[in-house]
């Protein structure tokens, strides 16, 4: 095989003509301090509130405090992987989660990332977690009931679509059973259900998912899990993620499901205190040609 100089020359010319100088420009900052899931970052003067930041070790953070000389960031991962002096990069994106009908039947974390081992969620629809709630004038009146399938609730304290209801009680009193039974009873009713597990053990979440799968409820259910082993910021944004996924404006207008029911299940804990009871609340939202989401 002979090598001709003309061919080499033509190849080199084509490569030179197609050469483009590409410069990757990104605004970076430096970690000043880190601890208890919170990091102080210097050098990000243009950072936005709620923006995602990239930390070393594939850890992400969300900007909460915008101060004069630094920004306060909550870490959405293990803070042991972050140390003083690490470089932080801006993403330019506000915290958002995937939405749409592709989420149905999946188990995701508080960032909308799948944790069920079934691969990535095939969707191009993303929506910000933090959005402004609609005003009173733009909201639809609560006039249509949502049948829970529990006679005591439907007869004495019926729930309306667009309404929020609190289920509160001591441990082992059946709060989770009320939420899961309501989801199971929605089969064939054209209702998309979302179960948000906050601060629960992974084994407990796995049991709930298996129960829903046995009754065929995962065909119209989305599970958002922020377990006890995950960081406090992830548990904090989990209910926002569930409500964002369930918002009518995030779902396809051609979907056959007329409404969405969300169940929030988890213990409420504040710094220095811990409630003795475990509240669980759920709400239903109705979609229309002009979606109007209920307030969180």
236-270 pLDDT, tens digit each: 889 889 888 887 655 544 344 456 666 676 645 43
CA distances from 22 to 12, 18, 216 (A): 19, 12, 51
Domain hosting 155: range is: 97-286
Residues 178, 273 within the same domain: yes
Contacts for 264-271: CB closer than 8 Å, 24+ residues apart: 264/196, 264/198, 264/239, 265/175, 265/176, 265/179, 265/195, 265/196, 265/197, 265/198, 265/200, 266/196, 266/197, 266/198, 266/199, 266/200, 266/226, 266/235, 266/238, 267/198, 267/199, 269/199
How many domains does the structure of the chain reveal?
A: 2
Distance CA 260, CA 263 (A): 10
Measured between alpha carbons, how far is 194 from 191 in angstroms, rounded to an integer?
A: 10
Give domain status of residue 275, yes or no. Answer: yes
Check whether residue 66 and residue 102 sit in a common domain: no
Q: What is the pLDDT of residues 212-240, one digit of tens each?
A: 999 999 999 999 999 988 888 888 889 88
Looking at the structure, tell me whether residues 109 and 89 fall in a common domain: no
Is residue 292's pLDDT more than 50? Answer: no
Mark whether 89 and 121 lie in a shared domain.
no
The answer on 139 and 101 residing in a single domain is yes
**What mean pLDDT do residues 189-217 have?**
90
Q: Of 42, 72, 94, which marks where a domain is finished?
A: 94
User: Are 265 and 203 within one domain?
Assistant: yes
CATH code of the domain containing 185: 3.40.50.300
**Among 59, 55, 131, which Cα is nearest to 94's?**
131
Is the pLDDT at 13 greater than 50, yes or no?
yes
Q: Which pLDDT belongs to residue 223?
A: 94
Domain boundary among 56, 73, 94: 94
Q: What local confidence, expressed as pLDDT, does residue 274 receive?
A: 31
Give the model's pLDDT for residue 259. Answer: 62
- Which of 94, 121, 142 is where one domain is finished? 94
């Amino acid at each position: 095989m002979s090598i001709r100089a003309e061919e080499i020359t033509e190849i080199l010319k084509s490569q030179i003509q197609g050469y483009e100088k590409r410069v990757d420009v990104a605004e970076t900052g430096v970690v000043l301090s880190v601890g208890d899931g919170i990091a102080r970052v210097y050098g990000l003067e243009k950072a936005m509130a709620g923006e995602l930041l990239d930390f070393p070790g594939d850890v992400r953070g969300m900007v909460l405090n915008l101060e004069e000389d630094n920004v306060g960031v909550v870490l959405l991962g293990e803070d042991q992987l972050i140390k003083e002096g690490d470089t932080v990069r801006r993403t330019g994106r506000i915290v958002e989660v995937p939405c749409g009908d592709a989420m149905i039947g999946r188990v995701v974390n508080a960032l909308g990332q799948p944790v069920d081992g079934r691969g990535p969620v095939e969707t191009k629809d993303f929506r910000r977690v933090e959005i402004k709630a609609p005003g009173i004038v733009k909201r639809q009146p609560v006039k249509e009931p949502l049948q829970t399938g529990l006679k005591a609730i439907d007869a004495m304290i019926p729930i309306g679509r667009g309404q929020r209801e609190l289920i509160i009680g001591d441990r082992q009193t059946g709060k989770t059973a009320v939420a899961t039974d309501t989801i199971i009873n929605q089969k064939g009713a054209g209702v998309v259900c979302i179960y948000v597990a906050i601060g629960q053990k992974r084994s407990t979440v796995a049991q709930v998912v298996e129960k829903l799968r046995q009754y065929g409820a995962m065909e119209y259910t989305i599970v958002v899990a922020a377990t006890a082993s995950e960081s406090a910021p992830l548990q904090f944004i989990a209910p926002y993620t569930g409500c964002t996924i369930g918002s009518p404006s995030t779902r396809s207008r051609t979907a056959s499901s007329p409404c969405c029911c969300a169940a929030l299940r988890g213990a409420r804990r504040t710094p220095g205190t811990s409630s003795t009871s475990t509240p669980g609340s759920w709400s239903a939202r109705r979609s229309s040609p002009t979606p109007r989401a209920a307030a969180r």
